[in-house]
Every structure is written in structure tokens, then in C-alpha cells.
Amino acid sequence: MTAGEIAAHLLGSCRSLKQFDAYMFGSTLRGIGEDVDILVVGSSGDALSQLKQELQAAGEFLPLHILYMLPSEERRTNFVTREKCVQLGLVMVAAEI
Amino acid sequence: MSWQVKRALAYIAEQPRLSAQHVAGELIRIEVEDQPDVFAVISAVNKVDAATATSYRQEHPEMDFLCGYRKTCVWPGDTIEYLQRANIGWGSAGTLTSAAFDGEANTASHKTYFFPDRLLRQYGRVKELSREYDRIYRVTLKTGTVLKIGMIADYEPNADAVRSLWDEFGPVDIVWNINPNGSPSLEAIEAGIELGCEVVIWEELKERLRTA
């Protein structure tokens, strides 16, 4: 699967993603890579537990490596900018163009 | 061909001096310049239990290395013991390619945990070490104190990493951030306090072991 296909698959399979900011980063954006790096930013709690279950099911045939961050952790580390993370929605749209 | 074998072959094809072919099922053969070929099973399981490892070995007796392709793959301690006794290397895809380069596929262990394992085993105040999982140890000190230690390899472990470790492996006394350049986030340390464990780096762990 390409990065765009993976993004579309995750967005289509995981309804709870709407409650979070989700990004792709790392080697999958540039080619095949060892695994698929995903960043999820949002609060902990029941919604996150639900999302983890959905992502586990969606990743049955994918080597997903998912990093979950609280918004404060993302702000402090500036992770999105530093790692050149791209929103899943944009990854999907870019692949469709 | 399974998805993880396809991805592993594609990943290996990106590595200089390595090539790989599918052999059968989840078994691939890796060819390396100036090193012996490596027969590796590429598994997609989330946890490689001993029964799974035994089954792979029965199916592919030529196996040199068992690769848990998912980054989140967990290796119980009895699986690790079984594979090491059988002279089969184990670990991630990155561990596999490094081991193939070095001609050490049969003795390699997951490179994420290799040095932390050595640090604990060689630390003078440790009397006994029981590896419950690749990242979970029960450490008995010479003073008699027993500590359960969990490892997180992230560069900047966050609160979720600490909570997830606790949820998956049960209560620990100490969460050790094993990345040598790592620095746990404030939220990770706070999550540890809420749960009832310390989140530390090696220097802090040494001090804790020294005084426990």
C-alpha cells in the first residue's frame, strides 16, 4: 500500500480518528520503509482507548508504529514540525491528485 | 505471499549489500556479501509466544533468525530462552539486517534491548535477573530488594507510553527510558507518579539500584 492508500484506509476504518489530530511521518512518506509511523495527538481517556482498538484492527495487515501524544507534549517537543508530520487527510488527498 | 514478507523483502531490497528471496511460507533467504546466507522467518504476530516459536522451528528447521516484523511485537522471556538455546536469533527487522551484515544471525538478540540487558546483567549490585518479557525484568539486588523494571526505548517517552506499558505488562516499580539520548517528558514522569512508579534514565536507575 502507498502512503495515500494507508491514510485512506485508516481514516475509513477508524471513526474515532475524527476526535484527534492524526499525522503520518517518517520513511513511509518517502517510500517503503520498515514500518508506518503515525502520530496521534489528543487527550487520554475512553476515546483514546476506543481509537487504539480501532487502529489495532485496522493495522492487522500493516506494520503500524503509532505514537500517541498529549497536546502539551506535542507543543513542548514541537514534534509535528520537527518530524515533518503530514496530516492523514492531506496524505490521502495528495495521493488522489 | 503474506503482507509482512512482501514488506520485509522490499525493506531489505533498500539496504546496500543485501538481497533477499522468498523461500516458502514466512521464510526468506537473505544473501549478504562476504557473510553466510541467513534463513529468517518474518512473523506478523503481536506476541511471539514459545508455542509460536516452536511451530516456526518445526516448519522451518533451517531458520537462523525469527523476526517479529511489527515494531510493537512482544517477546516473552520463555520464548527468548527457547530461541537462544536453539541457536536462533530474534528481534526486529532492523536487528535482522544488522545481524545479517555482521554474520551473527544465529546469536543476535533484539537490538533495542541488547545494551540495557547487558547493563543490568553486569551491574554489580544485581544478584539475580529474571527476564519476563523483552522489556520487563524482575531484578533481585544483593540487598534482597526485588524491583520490577519496564523499559521504554522512545527518545522522548510520553505519558501514553508509560500508561501503555503499565496496562500491557502490569505494575512496575521503575520505568527505565533506555534510549541513551532519551529524556522522559514531564507528563511521562507525572503519569508514573499517578500509577506509582518512577520514570528514570540510566544514571537515575543506577542510583536507585545502589540505594535500594
Tally of structural domains, chain A:
1
Q: Would you state the torsion angle of the CA atoms of residues B170, B77, B54, B6, taken in this order, to the nearest 10 degrees?
A: 70
Cβ pairs bridging A and B (under 8 Å):
53
- pLDDT given for residue B182 in this prediction: 83
The domain that holds A54 is classified in CATH as: 3.30.460.10
Residues of B with CB under 8 A from a CB of A: 3-4, 7, 10-11, 14, 44, 69-72, 92-94, 154, 156, 158-161, 163-164, 185-187
- pLDDT given for residue B34 in this prediction: 87
- pLDDT given for residue A28 in this prediction: 85
Q: What's the rounded Cα separation, in Å, for the pair B125 and B211?
A: 10
**CATH number for region B3-109:** 3.40.1340
- pLDDT given for residue A32 in this prediction: 67
DSSP symbol at A28: G
Q: Is A9 on the interface with B (CB under 8 A)?
A: no
Q: Which CATH number fits domain B112-211: 1.20.120, 1.10.8, 3.40.1350, 3.30.360?
A: 3.40.1350
Q: A97 is written with which cell numbers?
A: 491528485
- pLDDT given for residue A80 in this prediction: 94
Interface with B, mutate which of A73, A74, A78, A79 (most B CBs under 10 A): A73
Show the domain range for A88. Answer: 3-96
- pLDDT given for residue B139 in this prediction: 96
CATH 3.40.1340 in chain B: give the residue spans.
Answer: 3-109
Taking 50 as the pLDDT cut, the residues of chain B under it are none
- pLDDT given for residue A97 in this prediction: 60
Instruction: Report the SS3 class of residue B152.
Output: strand
- pLDDT given for residue B131 in this prediction: 97
> In angstroms, what separates the C-alpha of B93 from chain A's closest C-alpha?
7
Taking 50 as the pLDDT cut, the residues of chain A under it are none
- pLDDT given for residue A95 in this prediction: 66
b/e map B19-43, b = 16+ CB within 10 Å:
ebebeeebbbbbebeebeebbbbbb
* Closest by Cβ to A61, choosing from B3, B71, B160: B3
pLDDT digits (tens, 9 = 90+) for B106-156: 999 999 999 999 999 999 899 999 999 999 999 999 999 999 999 999 888
